[in-house]
């Protein structure tokens, strides 16, 4: 009997028992849909985290004032004023460090024409954009000479630019920051959320000198909120961390027995933790989905076993008219596989549809790869073969006379 | 027994010292052996029409199942044509059932929810014939058995006689030299039984197909040319059927 004929026989049998076929298929559909959905959510989370990390810049340290808090990563309480602009400049000179950018922060009111917008203002150095891996949407950053002269120039985050200017090009326009006119030199490209979930695009950047003297004011001259430090190479991050720590302890004249009055955080390490967490999450999601696939597979085995018993007489008749064991085995195996493959296809479509729905309803990123689709499909077929084989084998190894005598 | 030497044809079926017993577990879990067939010796030549008779439980079906390669003997040998059946693999047995033997059952044993045409075509499919060719040949057979107009009917839409004709067509579709029929008229009324028996007689006369048929009715056995009686697993009678009516009816 050729394969085509066997396939036709299998299809006929499935068609004859539509209800049973459908119910069995349901297990497969749910399993595969769950696998696709879970994998796409997991993959989406990983992709998002990787994008964020790539946008963050490489070999980064963030140095904040204040001792290490037990609460883990934070941007400092904001009341400790132990880090200064000059600390940053000194760190930039270290052999393992390529750049260090001091940052002050504050909240300000912006005006352009009739629009106003309140946002976060960061005072920093031109290096900041390089170190933080910021790309320009239009215009340029402010310059070293702007920094020296404390010029009234500003670089806008993309969200801020959109809110103040709409579709107008902000470059070369003048906005007012707490009522002082500032020239817009450039607009940054959007970065999205940070690892901690903060919107990184709703802010403006001005030279730190301008910020100190004209905007935030400063009761502690030269003190900063944090600094962004870039190491020269990924391998020497440990050395760089030691150098930063030693230099700052020395500059702050901290006695040997005393704690640091600052905290150095390696952002790469944080990124690794986040990547690891995302990976674990997608594995867990995948495992949960696999269980439902497994349950679907066992359902198929159940049904096939019932079907073999119910059709014992049919098997006997087929043997009596010349079916060999392989023909019977193939027929039952194909029936199981067809349930799986058809269920798999429907599940695949449902899973993709579900993933699309999730991406519409929530702001989660959903990624569906061809590999994922292939995996779900392969898995479905494997389940079909695995759970179909035993009943099929059982059917094929019956003795014709016993099968025929079965009531 | 010497009667059989009249046949010039070669032996199709030859069994020697054939025994069949079943092992059963009794209530105490002890194995008891229940012997059904005892040292049967039998030779059937090509072109014969043999009726096997005997009381219920005498082992007729057991013998037929062994002859049909649906079951295996406990001991003794069975030669079908040139082949020693005991030495054949499962696949070879399936091939013999497909090509050399057409089995007709009392209960018809058609495949449910399948048209008469597809039922008849299935043995051809197992023989590797393409679907369209097998359907064409099946239709030709249904035409010869007078069921042309019922080709697309499913078994439950056919009368008993029609179902048995479909089953006979199915048994014939691979042109086997041997038809084994275990009480083929057992579920049919007298008139339909007569028609079925005439069909067998015709196949035997016109196409020389060897027919071995089980019955416990004398007027059915009357169609056969040779009569074998089984009693408690022993052959007690093996003779030419003098009461034959076939020649009159066919002529
Ligand atoms: N699979 C089996 N297991 C045990 N005993 C069996 C089996 N098949 C048949 N028998 C026994 O063999 C005997 C002969 O049965 P069978 O050949 O069907 O008789 P007949 O067809 O002549 O009426 C019966 O007593 C029956 O109970
Ligand atoms: Mg019987």
The larger pLDDT score, comparing residue B202 to residue B113, is at B202
Two structure tokens written together for A332: 């039952």
Interface of B with A in 79-118 (CB under 8 A): 90-91, 94-95, 97-99, 103, 105, 109-114
pLDDT at B4: 44
Do the beta carbons of residue A194 and residue A62 sit within 8 Å?
no
Ligand closest to B24 (CA) is 1
Domain map (residue ranges) of chain B: 1-22+33-100+178-184+205-242, 103-175
Mean pLDDT of all residues belonging to chain A = 86
Binning pLDDT at 50, 70 and 90, where does residue B171 land? Answer: very high
Locate the ligand 1 atom nearest the alpha carbon of residue B230 and give its number: 22
Q: Which residue, judged by its Cα, is nearest atom 21 of ligand 1?
A: B61
Of A8, A314, A321, the CB nearest to B126: A321
pLDDT at A51: 81
B175 close to A (CB below 8 A): no
pLDDT at B5: 43
Backbone φ and ψ of B159, nearest 5°: -75, 165
Binning pLDDT at 50, 70 and 90, where does residue A390 land? Answer: confident
Q: Answer whether B90 sits within 8 Å of A327, measured CB to CB.
A: no
Two structure tokens written together for A51: 């994008």
Assess whether pLDDT exceeds 50 at residue B116: yes
CATH T-level topology, domain B1-22+33-100+178-184+205-242: Rossmann fold (3.40.50)
pLDDT at A73: 46
Q: Answer whether B97 sits within 8 Å of A5, measured CB to CB.
A: no
Q: Answer whether B98 sits within 8 Å of A322, measured CB to CB.
A: yes
Q: Scan for tokens 């059917």, then name that residue.
A: A395
Can you give the pTM of this predicted structure? 0.70
- Least confident window among A24-38, A74-88, B170-184, B222-236: A74-88
Of A313, A322, A400, the CB nearest to B126: A322
Strand arrangement, sheet containing B83-84: B31-45, B11-25, B75-80, B83-84
Nearest Cα to Cα of residue A275 among A38, A71, A48, A73: A48
Q: Give the pLDDT confidence of A88-137 residue by residue, as tens digits.
A: 999 999 999 999 999 998 889 999 988 889 999 999 999 999 888 888 99
B58 in contact with ligand 1, CB cutoff 6 A: yes
Tell how strand B226-231 and strand B49-54 pair up.
parallel
Assess whether pLDDT exceeds 70 at residue A72: no
Locate the ligand 1 atom nearest the alpha carbon of residue B182 and give its number: 21
pLDDT at B24: 85
Q: Provide the 10 A C-beta neighbour count for residue A248.
A: 20
Q: What is the DSSP letter of A150?
A: T
pLDDT at A42: 85
B65 close to A (CB below 8 A): yes
Q: Give the pLDDT confidence of A238-254 residue by residue, as tens digits.
A: 899 999 999 999 999 88
The larger pLDDT score, comparing residue B143 to residue A13, is at B143
Locate the ligand 1 atom nearest the alpha carbon of residue B54 and give its number: 22
Binning pLDDT at 50, 70 and 90, where does residue B49 land? Answer: very high
């Amino acid at each position: 009997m050729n394969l085509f004929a066997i396939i036709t026989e299998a299809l006929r049998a499935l068609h004859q028992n539509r209800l049973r076929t459908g119910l069995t298929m349901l297990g497969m559909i749910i399993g595969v849909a769950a696998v696709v959905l879970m994998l796409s959510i997991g993959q989406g989370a990983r992709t998002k985290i990787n994008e964020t990390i790539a946008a963050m810049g490489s070999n980064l340290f963030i140095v904040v004032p204040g001792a290490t808090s037990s609460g883990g990563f934070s941007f400092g309480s904001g009341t400790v004023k132990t880090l200064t602009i000059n600390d940053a400049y000194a760190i930039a000179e270290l052999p393992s460090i390529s750049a260090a950018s001091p940052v002050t922060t504050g909240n300000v009111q912006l005006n352009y024409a009739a629009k106003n917008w309140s946002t976060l203002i960061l005072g920093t150095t031109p290096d900041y954009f390089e170190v933080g891996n910021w790309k320009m949407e239009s215009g340029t950053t402010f310059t070293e000479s702007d920094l020296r002269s404390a010029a009234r120039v500003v670089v806008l985050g993309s969200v801020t630019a959109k809110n103040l200017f709409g579709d107008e090009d902000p470059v070369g326009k003048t906005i007012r920051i707490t009522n002082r006119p500032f020239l817009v030199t450039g607009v940054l490209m959007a970065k999205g959320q940070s690892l901690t979930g903060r919107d990184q695009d709703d802010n403006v950047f001005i030279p730190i000198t301008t910020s100190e003297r004209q905007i935030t004011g400063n009761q502690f001259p030269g003190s900063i909120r944090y600094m962004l430090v870039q190491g020269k190479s990924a391998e020497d991050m440990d050395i760089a961390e030691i150098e930063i720590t030693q230099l700052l302890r020395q500059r702050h004249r901290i006695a040997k027995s005393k704690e640091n009055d600052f905290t150095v955080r390696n952002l790469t390490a944080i990124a690794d933790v986040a990547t690891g967490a995302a990976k674990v999450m997608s594995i867990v999601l995948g495992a949960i989905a696999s269980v439902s696939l497994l349950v679907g597979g066992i359902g198929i085995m159940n049904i096939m076993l019932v079907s073999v018993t119910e059709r014992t007489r049919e098997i006997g008749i087929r043997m009596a008219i010349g079916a060999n064991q392989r023909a019977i085995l193939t027929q039952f195996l194909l029936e199981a596989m067809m349930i799986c493959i058809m269920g798999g296809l429907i599940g695949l479509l449902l899973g993709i549809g579900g993933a699309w729905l999730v991406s519409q309803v929530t702001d989660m990123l959903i990624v569906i790869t061809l590999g994922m689709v292939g995996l779900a499909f392969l898995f479905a077929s494997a389940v079909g073969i695995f759970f179909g084989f035993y009943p099929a084998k059982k059917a094929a190894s019956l003795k014709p006379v016993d099968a025929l005598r079965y009531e | 027994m010497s009667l059989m030497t009249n046949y010039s044809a070669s032996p199709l079926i030859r069994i020697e010292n054939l025994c069949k017993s079943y092992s059963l577990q009794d209530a105490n879990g002890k194995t008891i052996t229940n012997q059904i067939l005892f040292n049967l010796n039998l030779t059937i030549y090509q072109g014969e029409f043999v009726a096997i008779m005997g009381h219920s439980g005498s082992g007729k079906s057991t013998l037929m199942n062994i002859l049909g390669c649906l079951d295996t003997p406990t001991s003794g040998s069975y030669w079908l044509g040139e082949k020693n059946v005991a030495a054949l693999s499962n696949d070879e047995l399936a091939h013999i059932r497909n090509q050399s033997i057409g089995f007709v059952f009392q209960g018809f044993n058609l495949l449910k929810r399948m048209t008469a045409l597809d039922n008849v075509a299935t043995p051809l499919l197992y023989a590797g014939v393409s679907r369209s060719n097998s359907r064409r040949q099946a239709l030709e057979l249904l035409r010869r058995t007078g069921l042309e107009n019922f080709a697309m009917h499913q078994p439950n839409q056919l009368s008993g006689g029609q179902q048995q004709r479909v089953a006979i067509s199915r048994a014939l579709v691979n042109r086997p030299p041997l038809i084994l029929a275990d009480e083929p008229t057992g579920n049919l009324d007298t008139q339909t039984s007569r028609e079925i028996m005439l069909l067998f007689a015709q196949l035997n006369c016109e196409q020389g197909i060897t027919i071995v048929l089980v019955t416990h009715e004398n007027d059915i056995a009357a169609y056969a040319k040779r009569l074998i009686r089984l009693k408690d697993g022993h052959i007690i009678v093996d003779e030419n059927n003098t009461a034959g009516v076939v020649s009159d009816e066919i002529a």
